[in-house]
Structure formats: structure tokens, C-alpha cells
Structure 1
Amino acid sequence: MTDGATDASAAVAASVDDEAARAAALRHVFREYPAGVTLITAMTPRGPVGLTASSVSSVALDPPTISFSVTRATGSAGGLLGADTMLVHFLADRHADLARAFAHSGAPRFTPEQGWTTVETGEPLLPDARATFRCRALHIVPVGSSSLVIAEVLDVLPGATGDPLLHHDRKFHRFDPGSPEL
């Protein structure tokens, strides 16, 4: 067992009655759990908003539905929560710098160099994403300081080829499709 696994196991075992310890254990476990990376964008009356998200998950096929969470209801996250529709861009490994920019407030966003266009309904589109879902929120569920968004997929926009971008241990990584199957 690695030190990280031992630390996580000890934190989980010792934290049955300690909410802060459970939160720390959850953070540690998910830091070590790889996830795909998306950019979620919307158009608001103040202009375009967007953020990097690794919490996107499939929920249902009938109707086609996904979920994701945002950690606060202000800034870009607040703009997404108030938008009629949004675009969820599935990123390729070539988008690591873009994912970093949208993960930090104050970083340059929606610049011409980043390659943005818009769809007919006004949302910012990254045309070379692997795929893009146009969605509308069906439910927004407050959970502590976060919000869980359950969104219906209205359109699937084709994208460009490329290996998916992954997030693991607070860093972006390339997926290696050539690695042997287990």
C-alpha cells in the first residue's frame, strides 16, 4: 500500500464523527481519482462566462441528461447558474493551457488566440473541442457551498479528434490510449 493510500484510509477510518476530517479525506480521495476535463460556457447579459469542470457525469439517456457541480454561486459559476443554456466542451489534451486559464479567476478568457466562436443562440463555442453538448438546466440543487446542476442535453455538436484531457492530483495529463488493456 502506498503512503497516499495509507493516509486516505487512516483519514477515513478516523473521521466517522469529524466533518472536517471527512471533507479532507474526500478531497484527498478525489485528488487521486482521474477525471475528464470540460469547459462549461454560457452567455450572460454581462458577457460570456466559463469555467473548467471535471465533475461532468452522464445521468440518463431518456431524456439525455448530464450533471456537474460548481463550488459557488458567484462569478462565472453564478453566471452559468443563471443562464438559459450552456455549452459543455469535452477537452482534448491540446487544451491543457485553456483549461488552466479557465480554472483561475483573472486569467485571460475568450481571447481570439483561444479560437472562440459562438453558436446561433449566443453561447461561446470552442470549435476544436472533442465534442460539445448544448444544455439547459433542469434542476439546480444547493449542497452546502456548492450547487449540483442536472442539465438536459439539447444538442450534440461534433468536434475535432484528439485524446481526452485528464485531471489527476491537481494537474492535467494526457490520456495514453496505447497503454495495454487491463
Structure 2
Amino acid sequence: MTDAPTRPVATTRAADFKAAFRVHPAGIALITATTDSGPVGLTASSVASVALDPPALSFSVTRATGSAGALLSADTFVVHLLADRHLDLAQAFAHSGAPRFTAEQGWSRLDTGEPLLDDVPAALRCRALHIVPVGSSSLVAAEVLEVRLGPPAPPLVYHDRRYHRLGQG
């Protein structure tokens, strides 16, 4: 038997969980919607494809307040898969109070009203099918209603608590 220091299991597991995902790179997306009080958006690293027929994706948000809460209450939203050139946007939408939806950022609107970033490699207009509370987060399973493909570009990824640009090749 070993005399290893003991920590509460939940604390150890949570810390180890965070450390495990710190070394797992993830693509970056902006998720946007229109609400009665205007456009909302947030940066997400949890977007994943779920099904092809019908097309569906998932993502999670850490709380149901602020931008996340507004987004969860919207009828539809757009998941923008970001390119490396969108680093500044990813950072702006990850922090409250940063400038969002400015003309300089390149936003327009879909005919259905959602904010659209025109120069992303892909933008997927979605409708939530299920929102499942999981601990302090909400897991969203969404039907993809429309796909808009843009110019191909190297992706922006999140790894070890930092954004990274992946070069060509």
C-alpha cells in the first residue's frame, strides 16, 4: 500500500478532467442568434457533428445566463466554424464586454434574421432539438437547417487554454 497524499475524489477528478481536455485540441466556433434585445453570440470549443441523416450537431454552454441563456431561448441560431483569421473574433466573443457585431468584424444578417459572419469556412443554421442540463452546463443537440460553405482556410483551434493557428500542410 502506498502513502500517497489524499485529495477529495471529486476535486481530483475535476482537476484531472480539466487537465485531460487541456491536451486535447478542439475546433473553435462562434454561435450567434437574434433575440428581442438584439444579437447575441459566444465562442464555443465543444461543437461536434452528431448525425448525417438528418444532419445534426451538438455543443455545450456552461450556464444558462447572459449570452448563453439568450442563445438557448432563441428559435434558431448559426454555428460559424472559424478559420485561423478569426482569432480576434474568437477572443472577443469569449469575454463579456468586448466589442461584438461591429461592421469591421464583417457581420451581415440572414433573411431569417440571425447574424452571419460571411467569410467563415462554414456556417450552419440550426434549431435546437434537445437541451439537456448536465451539471452546471447545458448540452444542445441541434438539427442543421441550412449549410453555407465559404472560402476554405486553415482552422482555428483551442489547445492548452490558448488559441492556435494551424498552418497549411
TM range (shorter): over 0.9
Please state how far the C-alpha of 1:19 moved relative to its aligned partner: 1.2
Indicate the structure with greater strand content: 2
**Contact 1:127 1:160 survives alignment (8 Å):** no
Cα distance in 1, alignment partners of residues 51 and 168 from structure 2: 26
1:117 paired with 2:81, answer no
Q: 1:38 aligns with which of 29, 45, 50?
A: 29
Please state how far the C-alpha of 1:32 moved relative to its aligned partner: 1.2
The alignment-based identity, stated in percent, is 67
Q: 1:77 aligns with which of 50, 68, 78?
A: 68
State the AA in 1 paired with 2:13: R
Please state how far the C-alpha of 1:49 moved relative to its aligned partner: 0.3
Structure 2 gaps of 5+ residues are: none
Q: 2:128 aligns with which of 120, 137, 147?
A: 137
Please state how far the C-alpha of 1:145 moved relative to its aligned partner: 0.9
**Contact 1:90 1:132 survives alignment (8 Å):** yes
1:98 paired with 2:71, answer no
Please state how far the C-alpha of 1:134 moved relative to its aligned partner: 0.3
- What's the secondary structure of 1:161's corresponding residue? coil
1:158 paired with 2:149, answer yes
State the AA in 1 paired with 2:134: V
Corresponding position of 2:9: 18
- What's the secondary structure of 2:133's corresponding residue? strand
Aligned residue-pair number: 165
Please state how far the C-alpha of 1:83 moved relative to its aligned partner: 0.4
- What's the secondary structure of 2:119's corresponding residue? coil
Please state how far the C-alpha of 1:177 moved relative to its aligned partner: 3.8
Cα distance in 2, alignment partners of residues 161 and 67 from structure 1: 22
1:63 paired with 2:54, answer yes
Query: Cα RMSD between the aligned structures?
Result: 1.4
Structure 1 gaps of 5+ residues are: 1-9
TM (norm. structure 1) is 0.87
- What's the secondary structure of 2:153's corresponding residue? coil
- What's the secondary structure of 1:151's corresponding residue? strand
Please state how far the C-alpha of 1:158 moved relative to its aligned partner: 1.6
